[in-house]
Amino acid sequence: MSWTEVVIEIARSHAEALSDALMEAGALSVSVEDADEGTEDEKPLFGEPGMVVEQAAWDRSRVVALTDENDDQPTIVAEAARAIGLDTLPDFSVRSVADADWVRLTQSQFEPIHIGKNIWVVPSWHEAPDPNGLILEVDPGLAFGTGSHPTTRLCMEWLEAHPAPGKSVLDYGCGSGILAMVAKKLGAADVTGVDIDPQAIESAALNAERNACAIDFYVPDDFVASKHGEQRFDIVVANILSSPLKLMAPMLSGRVADGGALILSGVLARQAEEVAAAYAPFIKLGVWAEQDGWVALHGQLGMESAPPPRAAIDGE
């Protein structure tokens, strides 16, 4: 089976409405791209949770609709244009999308990832490059966390550098559950993961089962009502983003046991001071390591100053 893409360049004010109308008219999927992508006029469009993104598209947007090759593409475009009140039919082009083994093509984009000294994140369709390493079988999916992003890697490397056999670990904002699984495979006795997304909880639980890791996963309300509701942990790790991390400073700090460690990531280097300031009334944080503009902050409850950064620990 083959498909045909319909490509329409249109002003930002019409991009979102046209996308919805194209779906109603029979398109199989629709995406909106920056028509200036790859030029000096290309503009990033993103934001953190809690931030309001004022633009839902670009000044010059490219709407790409996937259709069946046997569909009447001009009719689909005309119906969509009429539905949103356009006086004239927008210019559009079509391009063929050849059939392919999409599963194999997608899988070919994901190779095993080596992290830290001995950790391997391996998709299920690959053999582990080092069977003696710490192997995590994780397929790319809807939940964040395969080890490819610097923030995830930084947290995994911290956990590897600070194994806690027999200790308790809380992974707040667990996503795929990858940090919780690293802690468990490094010997932690009591590991708990929390995420606001029920789908992430489901994904994390499946990943933990696949990797033979006994971990409890909860959405926040269930976590508070669980046996862990009042628990303080030897290690608390949260890989989220700076805005929610600042808001959660009292709660996350309150989950750290006396003498325990707090590790935060999802923080850009330029945001490190303001995040550390939010936690200063509770725990002294410092930058442990930086990678590609992202940092991991860490501190120990009860210490007047932050522990030394990784470079000082490793003697680099």
Least trusted range by pLDDT, from 52-61, 159-168, 217-226: 52-61
Cα–Cα distances in Å, from 88 out to 30, 37, 45, 98?
21, 26, 29, 31
| Separation between Cα atoms, residue 215 and residue 93, nearest integer Å | 51
**Strand locations in the chain, DSSP E?**
3-11, 29-34, 60-68, 92-97, 113-115, 119-122, 134-137, 168-172, 190-194, 216-218, 233-239, 256-268, 286-291, 294-300
More confident residue, 141 or 244: 244
DSSP secondary structure letter of residue 260: E
User: At what angle are helices 150-161 and 178-185 packed, to 10 degrees?
Assistant: 20
Contacts of 85 (CB under 8 A, 6+ apart): none
pLDDT of 14 reads 86
Share of the chain above pLDDT 70, in %: 83
Name the fold adopted by 3-99. Alpha-Beta Plaits (3.30.70)
What is the DSSP secondary-structure string of 53-100? -S-SS-SEEEEEEEEETTS-HHHHHHHHHHHTT-SSPPPEEEEEE---
More confident residue, 226 or 13: 226
> What's the pLDDT tens digit per position in 20-33?
999 999 998 898 88
**pLDDT at residue 2 above 80?**
no
Q: Which two tokens stand for residue 310?
A: 């990784």
pLDDT of 104 reads 58
Cα–Cα distances in Å, from 219 out to 143, 193, 262?
14, 9, 20
Mapped onto helix, strand or coil, the DSSP state of residue 300 is strand
Average pLDDT, the chain: 86
| Separation between Cα atoms, residue 259 and residue 234, nearest integer Å | 7
More confident residue, 281 or 127: 281
- Token look-up 């620990």 returns 313
pLDDT band at 97 (very low <50, low <70, confident <90, very high): confident
pLDDT of 48 reads 43
| Separation between Cα atoms, residue 295 and residue 264, nearest integer Å | 8
Q: Report the predicted TM-score, pTM, of the whole model to 2 decimal places.
A: 0.69
> What's the pLDDT tens digit per position in 28-78?
889 888 866 666 655 554 444 344 444 455 668 889 998 988 999 999 999
| Separation between Cα atoms, residue 180 and residue 308, nearest integer Å | 24
Provide the residue ranges of all domains of the chain, joining segments of one domain with +: 3-99, 148-314
Among 45, 55, 51, residue whose Cα is nearest residue 244: 51
CA angle (127 as vertex; 135, 237 as ends), nearest 5: 25
| Separation between Cα atoms, residue 263 and residue 255, nearest integer Å | 12
| Separation between Cα atoms, residue 175 and residue 199, nearest integer Å | 9
| Separation between Cα atoms, residue 193 and residue 119, nearest integer Å | 20
Does the domain at 148-314 match CATH 3.40.50.150? Answer given as yes
Could you tell me which residues are beta bridge partners of residue 238?
Answer: 172, 264
